[in-house]
A and B are shown apart, each in its own frame.
Chain A
Amino acid sequence: MANRRCIQTLISRCFCISHSPNPSPHPILKTLTIAPHFLLQTEYSTVQSLTPTDPGKICSAFPSFSRHLCSDNRTSMGSIDNDGDEEEEEEEDDDDDESEDEERVHLSGKSDEQKAEEAAEIGYKVIGLLEESDRVFKPYEPVFAVVQVGSHQFKVSNGDSIFVEKLKYCDVNDKLILNRVLMLGSTAQTIIGRPVLPDAAVHAVVEEHALDAKVIIFKKKRRKNYRRTKGHRQELTKLRITDIQGIAKPEPIPSMKTEKRATKKVEKTAVSA
């Protein structure tokens, strides 16, 4: 945009110079040679090289670079005044629009790193990979963890589901790691963090992003003719806890089912034989 503005001003200045009462060929030729170059650097270097020869005229040709508008030239060239004012207003508008656009870009379009940082700070989560036919849903293990998400803490075990304030940067079926773990416990051992356990991790999967039921906020001041009704639905995220890491889990007892199956098989083979 800046390049286009410069070239536009260049061309307008060239025409004005050409229309001016004393058209000197040198600045015109020099400006015309500069116009095709669309690089700011080359233009600026040429400005610097030309300044000792015709300072006034060249300054007028490049007002947008240094913002030092040559008032002497403006008063001398009567025909340029209107154009100059218009260009000034246009430039200011462009700059305002650009700054607003930049602000909007900064607010809305965050980079992935910023998103991950925010997520890590506010929600204490790190987005892992999406679900890809992994065997993530294991049977229950007698291990619990106290986890903090945002400002809420939960005592969590394998296979539990948690309703949390809406997590911004994750979609349904995403794997998360909740890294703010305050306590771990199993049947034999308890590990307390001060305040956080650094090596512990709790894996979770995002199940749902949904709205809670509507809560009606009703305000009334009696005998004062004041009554207000407001409806509110909180946005929640449902997480299902899949794994807790950082503590030695007790070995699962060999189930009775496998033993029964083994005995049945032995009987069948005996019968067949």
Chain B
Amino acid sequence: MALRGVWQLNKLIVSYCDWGGSSRGVRAFMESHLPAFKEISPQLEVVTELNRGQHPYLKGLYRNKNERVVSVKNMTPEDILPCATRLRNSLGRKVVKLKTRHVTKHPSVQGTWTTELKM
């Protein structure tokens, strides 16, 4: 998740509840895997928010003002880590079906082929 060397994910908010059972995995994740995750990505600002009475979620705020929310309700810490990693690894772009797998601004080097081209 780096466009031309610049990391795109600015902030990761881990919202959890300290009473609810659906947040059990997130609470365990915050104790076990979150410190390592913070070390792997030092440029990322990771914030834990207490949101009582609500289900837990991970919110990623990107440089292009895009927000991606992933619900981690009833997930184990081992499942939450790839979710967080995926948020970190992606650009903030909208998830649309790809038109082409090769994006270029200069499609031709030696000149575009035409029927009148003489080799």
**Chain A interfacial positions (CB closer than 8 Å to B):** 131, 136-137, 140, 142-144, 152, 154-157, 159-164, 171-173, 185-187, 190, 205-213, 215, 236, 238, 240
For residue A172, which residues in chain B have a CB less than 8 angstroms away from its CB?
A: 1-2, 88-89
For residue A161, which residues in chain B have a CB less than 8 angstroms away from its CB?
A: 102-104
B102 touches A162 (CB 8 A): yes
Residue of A157, A161, A172, A212 ringed by the most chain B CB atoms within 10 A: A172
**Chain B interfacial positions (CB closer than 8 Å to A):** 1-5, 7, 86, 88-91, 95-98, 101-106, 109-110
| Choice from B101, B104, B109, B110 contacting A152 with Cβ under 8 Å | B101
Majority DSSP secondary structure for residues of A touching B = strand
Shortest beta-carbon distance, B40 to chain A, in Å? 9
Cα distance, A160 to B104, chains bound together (Å): 5
A140 touches B89 (CB 8 A): no
Contacts across chains A and B counted by CB atoms under 8 Å: 88
B96 touches A213 (CB 8 A): yes
B105 touches A140 (CB 8 A): yes
Q: List 7 A-B contacts (CB under 8 A).
A: A142-B109, A172-B88, A187-B110, A190-B110, A205-B5, A208-B1, A240-B4
A209 touches B90 (CB 8 A): yes
Cα distance, A140 to B114, chains bound together (Å): 24
Cα distance, A227 to B98, chains bound together (Å): 27
A210 touches B109 (CB 8 A): no
Shortest beta-carbon distance, A163 to chain B, in Å? 4
A160 touches B89 (CB 8 A): no
- What residue in chain B is nearest A213 (Cβ atoms)? B97
Cα distance, A211 to B96, chains bound together (Å): 10
A154 touches B101 (CB 8 A): yes
For residue B91, which residues in chain A have a CB less than 8 angstroms away from its CB?
A: 207-208, 210, 238
For residue A238, which residues in chain B have a CB less than 8 angstroms away from its CB?
A: 91
Cα distance, A137 to B3, chains bound together (Å): 11
